[in-house]
Structure 1
Amino acid sequence: MTASARSAHARAATRFPVVTHLADRMVSVNIFDSATRLAAQSFLTAVPLLFVVGAYAPPPVRHQLITSVRTVFGVTGAADAQLVQALSPTTGSLRQATGVVGGLMVLLSATAVSRALQRLCKRAWEIPRAGTRIAPWRWLAWLVLWLAALLVQGPMRDGFGVGAWLGIPITLVGLTGLWWWTQHLLLGGLVGWKPLLPGAVITAVAVTALSVTARLYLPRALNQALSEYGSLGPVFILLSWLIVVCVAVAISISAGAVVAQEPAPARRLGSPPPVRGRAAHR
């Protein structure tokens, strides 16, 4: 059975090389495990950060964040009221409860998302752990830029007042640049800019498509879960949606690496050879 499986794999690699290489990369990346870890870290980071922003951010920033979250997820009704309440405390009690030290600890622990995404990118590009230390400041820089990107999502999705017909292309271009920079930053420049472009484009298309569908599903699901199960109901909905998004991100980054390392694109992009190519040259 093992010999038969190897023979079938060899035939598939000859007939459908890209598909076979992508399947092999998915296995090596451990897509669902990596995506689940990334989703869990994102959720555990997002909730404390909401409280920190609500406690310390000036009112214009809080208002812009509410507008962006409302625009991205299409939040309405009871879920929207909960969002406004979380980010608009009426007294200083939230700031006192959070504290400066607590806020700094939340920001530092939030870099766990950066580290999880960094591991995903390194696995997708088959970069070994040994001898590839990357400066920790990159984790914090990634977090700060993504928080800034979240603040401008509302105006971008609305096309800066023109409409969704312009907002969606602008969002697609913006997310392409963001994921392009994300890979380069978290990989510490171990892979050049050009090879990272296919993964950035694929990821941006996948995330943009999911964000459009989220506006059709999430508002009703969040309000229904809130009415039936209370404040804990939306937790399951948001975590499930995050897992779907992170699976799409993991697949897209891995697919981009595979495409960039195929012979024809690799010659144009200057991509590093895959592990199987490195082994063949030894």
Structure 2
Amino acid sequence: MLMLPLEFCFQVEKVLKSVIDDCYPYEWDEDHITRDILKGLRKSFRDVTLFGYRYQLNINWEVYKYTGTPEHLYGDVAVLVKIRFRNGDLSEGVGFLEAKKRSIDSNRFDSLKNTQLEDILSIAPQAFLLLYDYENITTFINSISYLNDFDDYGEKYLQGLDKHGHFPRFLSETYCVVAPANLITSTSPKTTSLYNRSLPLSYQLCYRYLFGFDLEYDSTAIDIAKGYPPQRRYPRYVMVIRVGQNVPPPELDEPLNSEVLQILEE
């Protein structure tokens, strides 16, 4: 699948919005929402090539789920990113996401607990909260231009959208954001005010993780993501993103532990 970066981010956002629309109100549960989002992303974007940069990005996505009974779940999603850069250098890191839903008829995230976040931050200081809302989120940080990577082709793509276009909404609204978990303290309001310090998940995936930003690079965090921790501490889901800059996506040096992590079926 060949796409422009902004087009790709737009299509990711469409998947997120569609899933959350389908889950509310009868399946308004963090695990259900997260599972359906990961299945939707993997189904839509298993192999993607992005052009429009000074180089081409070749991307492969896979999603796995933990199948055992751990002593402790270590976050909801570990995003394991392996990148081969244009000069041949390799990097491998992992981003941790802890999912929380907005409580119905409330502005609070009632399941958000400080002790849980402190445990995750002890290993992953760059971890994010993944916040779901059944109403449009409009107060995220919006000073980032989504249009810098657009050329004449991109302008034609925008013009080709229907006249009611969903593209303007993509630039200003979402149902799903990430906020730094280390912002939360015992006195922090666990409400939708967190959105003021957030970014859309679509932006985080497409413009941060794909380039190696906001990841943990230490061996302990990577072992947790791959299913080889010395203690039984695993993420609920693992999203593996392999990125090659002008080359095919690189393979993982060490595969995931197949005894505890299995492909998330569609």
Higher strand share: 2
Same fold (TM over 0.5): no
Largest Rg, 1 or 2:
1
Q: Report the TM range for the smaller structure's normalisation.
A: under 0.3
Q: State the TM-score, normalized to the length of structure 1.
A: 0.26
TM-score calculated relative to the size of structure 2: 0.27
